[in-house]
């Protein structure tokens, strides 16, 4: 009996029933057969050795496909497990999935030490085993068989996994002496795994629950060619050079001090310029968008946060209350600006005619983050949000939300953030106790967010369990140099705080109504935004943001006088820079400014002094030739200016 196989290009061929993926690959070309790693059959990824018995649409995966890489790395995880078991008999295995770059395996070494030396030994064993070209064999097993096997082996983690599986849908995979509970798919054999690197060891709670035992997670990556591994490792090295913590130190943007306290950044003069430029940019954009700036204190009475619900939710895990000499008073460092803004809203009766009221503040907030969470500027304990709260009528929610989306997109566009993900952060439906408020309002808010995103044609990804405790969010996620994803901009619809603070407005019907609040921060926090910005531009900031836009470099001390005039004139035009009047050769001065990533170097010597010119050199590009100072200013004027805010 024949079956119909549909190829990705839409063509259909007939094959005998029971044909294997690898045979289909062979029928196309010998080359494809050699490179094939897995096959997609009707949307499911299969082993190449699994017989296909029904009509199917197929796609053959090679190393160039994500599906192919996943199968490759999944098989590599098994190879790792095989090597580990060979060296550490009795080791117990958790889960070992492929990930975006490589794979990991969670293992229980029962206290046996596992460091760099052990890593290297396992790595070596993996390469040895790979060369044996063991075939990955898939085997259907009954639940009883599966339980029996792992009971004998004494692996309680696998037994726990089997417990959650349906009888009849359980498969084992074996290569060499190693058998694993696994749904697959796998590559045909271990031979293609030519280059192996175990990257690091970390702790990970079994099943991601901190109440469970912590297992040892080993991260690794493999490639079909050594060269590809070398390139990957080189790429990692390059990414590390863009790490904002490294550049922040080198470019003197910010610092941390043990004495000040962990997670409390100190902004150095150059970093402060950067920060203030971004702040000015946002202030301008917000004035145009109808926001009113406000300022509120850094602390607030405990009662404020009891009202908002933050105290109940985070009180124990926050900085603890500040006490006054009169013991009856308690104040909290503000972890949020919204309660303060609610109180501003309440300072007078509001009419439906004046809504929406948009209150904006660069509010510095303090949150007690767990010590292990702190990470450069991306996760800190004191940071400044470009916060604002929009108080509007229910019929204005969508329109206001869309306007905020536009503002976030303007920010991202102005700073060249093109690779963001718009994430709709929803409630975890299985854990509603984590959230406050009625279902109906949550559903409404979630619907409004999705509609607003759709209206702007945003491609969104919905993620359950990521909502704030008072409402769903639209989060804009951006990756850092090492591919870690961070939340920057965020927009939230909130029906809860207006209730808790009993916010009201008088409608056209002369009745009291409850406004809706939209929380929003396009940058998110200046700290995190700047961290990601640094990594995006590798410290080469857009000219309008650069802390130092130019350096004037005299050829020798004889021209320091003229050089100073140049500096003064540029400063008059609000262009930032400095004079390098050190007794050094020009090559040295250029090098130092290049290393500091100063956008423009203006070199002045005898010729320039006589002609009243500057020799312009652009960072990373080189000599642009001599020109009048006014010509220089004019030529790059648009770059010096802050992006136009529409």
Partner RNA sequence: GCCGAGGUAGCUCAGGGGUAGAGCAGCUGAUUCGUAAUCAGCAGGUCGUGGGUUCAAAUCCCAUUCUCGGCUCCA
Window 251-270: residues binding RNA (CB under 7 A): 256, 258, 262-263
CB of 378 to RNA, least distance (A): 9
Asked if 113 interacts with RNA (CB under 7 A), we say yes
Strand (E) positions, 156-272? Answer: 170-175, 178-181, 195-205, 214-223, 254-255, 266-267
Region for residue 613 given its phi and psi (left: phi exceeds 0; alpha: psi -120 to 50; beta: otherwise): beta
> SS3 for 377?
coil
Binders in 471-500 for RNA, by CB under 7 A: 482, 484
- Annotated catalytic residue 387: yes
Angle at 339 between CA 336 and CA 341, to 5 degrees: 100
CB within 8 Å of 237: residues ≥ 6 apart:
none
CB of 240 to RNA, least distance (A): 9
**Binding mask 220-249 vs RNA (x if CB under 7 A, - otherwise)?**
-------------------------x---x
Question: Do 559 and 604 meet the contact criterion of CB atoms below 8 Å apart?
Answer: yes
CA distance 207 to 636: 55
Pick from 225, 432, 591, 635: which binds RNA (CB under 7 A)?
A: 591
**Binding mask 63-102 vs RNA (x if CB under 7 A, - otherwise)?**
----------------------------------------
Binders in 115-154 for RNA, by CB under 7 A: 115-116
CA distance 490 to 44: 35
CA distance 531 to 478: 11
Q: Which is nearer to RNA, 391 or 505 (CB)?
A: 391
Tokens linked to 580 = 């390098």
Pick from 24, 81, 196, 603: which binds RNA (CB under 7 A)?
A: 603
Closest listed residue to residue 196, CA positions, set 67, 68, 82: 82
Binders of RNA: how many residues, by CB under 7 A?
Answer: 73
CA distance 292 to 115: 56
Q: Where are the alpha helices (DSSP H) in 289-423?
A: 302-308, 310-314, 338-345, 397-414
Instruction: Count CB neighbours of 27 within 10 A.
Output: 13
Pick from 158, 197, 310, 389: which binds RNA (CB under 7 A)?
A: 310
- Annotated catalytic residue 473: yes
**Site stretch for RNA (CB under 7 A), options 25-33, 188-196, 220-228, 331-339:** 331-339
Q: List, as one string, the DSSP characters of 292-308.
A: EE----SEEEHHHHHHH
Binders in 11-70 for RNA, by CB under 7 A: none
Range 505-521 burial, b when 16+ CB lie within 10 A, else e: beeeeeeebebbbbbbb
CA distance 604 to 617: 11
Pick from 606, 628, 631, 639: which binds RNA (CB under 7 A)?
A: 606
Torsions phi, psi for 477 (to 5 deg): -100, 135
Binders in 187-206 for RNA, by CB under 7 A: 200-205
Q: Which is nearer to RNA, 30 or 621 (CB)?
A: 621
Q: Which is nearer to RNA, 179 or 436 (CB)?
A: 436
**Binding mask 350-389 vs RNA (x if CB under 7 A, - otherwise)?**
-----------------xxxxxxxxxx--x----------
Tokens linked to 514 = 């409850």
- What is the C-alpha end-to-end distance of the chain, expressed in Å? 67
Pick from 98, 176, 489, 605: which binds RNA (CB under 7 A)?
A: 605
Instruction: Count CB neighbours of 383 within 10 A.
Output: 23
Range 296-314 burial, b when 16+ CB lie within 10 A, else e: beeebebebbebbbbbebb
Q: Per the residue annotation, which of 217, 381, 519, 536 is the catalytic one? A: 519
Torsions phi, psi for 502 (to 5 deg): 55, 50
CB of 262 to RNA, least distance (A): 4
Pick from 148, 230, 231, 317: which binds RNA (CB under 7 A)?
A: 317
Asked if 437 interacts with RNA (CB under 7 A), we say no
DSSP 566: H
- Annotated catalytic residue 389: yes
Q: Per the residue annotation, which of 385, 487, 492, 549 is the catalytic one? A: 385
Pick from 208, 269, 325, 457: which binds RNA (CB under 7 A)?
A: 208
CB of 604 to RNA, least distance (A): 7
- Annotated catalytic residue 338: yes
Asked if 7 interacts with RNA (CB under 7 A), we say no
Q: Per the residue annotation, which of 197, 358, 473, 528 is the catalytic one? A: 473
Q: Which is nearer to RNA, 283 or 596 (CB)?
A: 596
Q: Per the residue annotation, which of 69, 158, 389, 427 is the catalytic one? A: 389
CB of 258 to RNA, least distance (A): 5
Binders in 441-470 for RNA, by CB under 7 A: 468-469
Q: Which is nearer to RNA, 157 or 173 (CB)?
A: 157
Pick from 144, 322, 462, 595: which binds RNA (CB under 7 A)?
A: 595
Range 223-232 burial, b when 16+ CB lie within 10 A, else e: bbeeeebeeb
CB of 611 to RNA, least distance (A): 10
- Annotated catalytic residue 323: no
Q: Which is nearer to RNA, 505 or 562 (CB)?
A: 562
CA distance 13 to 11: 7
Q: Which is nearer to RNA, 63 or 319 (CB)?
A: 319
CA distance 517 to 497: 8
Question: Do 74 and 186 meet the contact criterion of CB atoms below 8 Å apart?
Answer: yes
**Binding mask 608-637 vs RNA (x if CB under 7 A, - otherwise)?**
x------x-x--x-xx--x-----------
Asked if 557 interacts with RNA (CB under 7 A), we say yes
CB of 93 to RNA, least distance (A): 16
CA distance 15 to 99: 34
Q: Which is nearer to RNA, 62 or 216 (CB)?
A: 216
Q: Per the residue annotation, which of 367, 427, 528, 597 is the catalytic one? A: 367
CB of 507 to RNA, least distance (A): 29
Binders in 332-351 for RNA, by CB under 7 A: 335-336, 338
For residue 536, with 0-12 CB atoms within 10 Å meaning exposed, 13-18 middle and 19 or more buried, which class applies? Answer: buried
- List, by residue number, the catalytic residues: 338, 367, 385, 387, 389, 473, 519
């Amino acid at each position: 009996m024949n079956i119909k196989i549909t190829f990705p290009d839409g063509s259909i061929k007939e094959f005998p029933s029971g044909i294997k993926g690898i045979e289909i690959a062979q029928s196309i070309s010998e080359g494809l057969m050699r490179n094939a790693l897995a096959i997609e059959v009707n949307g499911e990824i299969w082993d190449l050795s699994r017989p296909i018995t029904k009509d199917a649409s197929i796609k053959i995966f090679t190393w160039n496909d994500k599906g192919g890489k996943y199968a490759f790395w999944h098989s590599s995880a098994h190879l790792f497990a095989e090597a580990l078991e060979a060296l550490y008999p009795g080791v117990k295995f958790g889960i070992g999935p492929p990930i975006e770059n490589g794979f990991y395996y969670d293992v229980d070494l029962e206290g046996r030490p596992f460091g760099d030396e052990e890593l290297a030994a396992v790595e070596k064993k993996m390469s040895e085993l790979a060369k044996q070209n063991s075939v990955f064999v898939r085997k259907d097993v009954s639940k009883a068989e599966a339980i029996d096997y792992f009971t004998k082996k004494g692996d309680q983690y696998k037994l726990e996994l089997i417990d959650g599986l349906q009888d009849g849908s359980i498969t084992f995979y074996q290569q060499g002496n190693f058998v694993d509970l696994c749904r697959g798919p796998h590559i045909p054999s271990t031979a293609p795994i030519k280059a192996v690197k175990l990257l690091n060891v970390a702790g990970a709670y079994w099943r991601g629950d901190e109440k469970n035992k912590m297992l040892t997670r080993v991260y690794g990556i493999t490639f079909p060619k050594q060269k590809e591994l070398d390139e990957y490792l080189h790429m990692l090295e390059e990414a590390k050079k863009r790490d904002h913590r490294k550049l922040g130190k080198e470019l003197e943007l910010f610092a941390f001090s043990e004495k000040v306290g962990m997670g409390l950044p100190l902004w150095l003069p150059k970093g402060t310029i950067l920060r203030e430029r971004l702040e000015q940019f946002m202030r301008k954009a917000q004035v145009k968008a109808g926001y009113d700036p406000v300022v509120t204190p850094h602390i607030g009475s405990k009662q404020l946060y009891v009202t908002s619900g933050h105290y109940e939710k985070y009180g124990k895990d926050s900085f603890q209350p500040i006490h006054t000499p009169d013991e009856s008073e308690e104040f909290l460092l503000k972890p949020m600006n919204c309660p303060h803004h609610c109180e501003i809203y309440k300072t007078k009766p509001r009419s439906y005619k004046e809504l929406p009221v948009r209150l904006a503040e660069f509010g510095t907030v303090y949150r007690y983050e767990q010590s292990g969470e702190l990470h450069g500027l991306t996760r800190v304990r004191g940071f400044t949000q470009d916060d604002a709260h929009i108080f509007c009528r229910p019929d204005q929610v969508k329109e206001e939300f869309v306007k905020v989306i536009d503002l976030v997109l303007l920010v991202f566009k102005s700073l060249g953030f093109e690779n963001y993900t718009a994430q709709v952060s929803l409630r975890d439906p299985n854990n509603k106790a984590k959230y406050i408020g009625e279902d109906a309002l949550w559903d409404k808010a979630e619907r409004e967010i999705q509609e607003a995103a759709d209206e702007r044609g945003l491609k969104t990804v919905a993620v359950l369990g990521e909502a704030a405790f008072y409402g769903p969010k639209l989060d804009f996620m951006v990756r850092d140099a090492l591919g870690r994803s961070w939340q920057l901009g965020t927009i939230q619809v909130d029906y809860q705080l207006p209730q808790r603070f009993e916010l009201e407005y008088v409608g056209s019907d002369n009745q009291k109504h409850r406004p809706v609040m939209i929380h929003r921060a396009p940058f998110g926090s200046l700290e995190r935004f700047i961290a990601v910005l640094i990594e995006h531009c590798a410290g080469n900031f857009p000219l309008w943001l650069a802390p130092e836009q130019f350096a004037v470099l005299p050829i020798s001390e004889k021209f320091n006088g003229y050089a100073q005039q140049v500096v003064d004139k540029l400063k008059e035009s609000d262009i930032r820079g400095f004079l390098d009047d050190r007794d050094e050769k020009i090559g040295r001065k250029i090098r130092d400014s290049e290393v500091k990533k100063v956008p423009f170097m203006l070199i002045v010597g005898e010729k320039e002094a006589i002609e009243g010119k500057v020799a312009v050199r652009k960072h990373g590009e080189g000599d642009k030739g001599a020109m009048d100072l006014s010509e220089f200013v004019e030529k790059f004027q648009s770059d010096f200016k802050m992006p136009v805010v529409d």
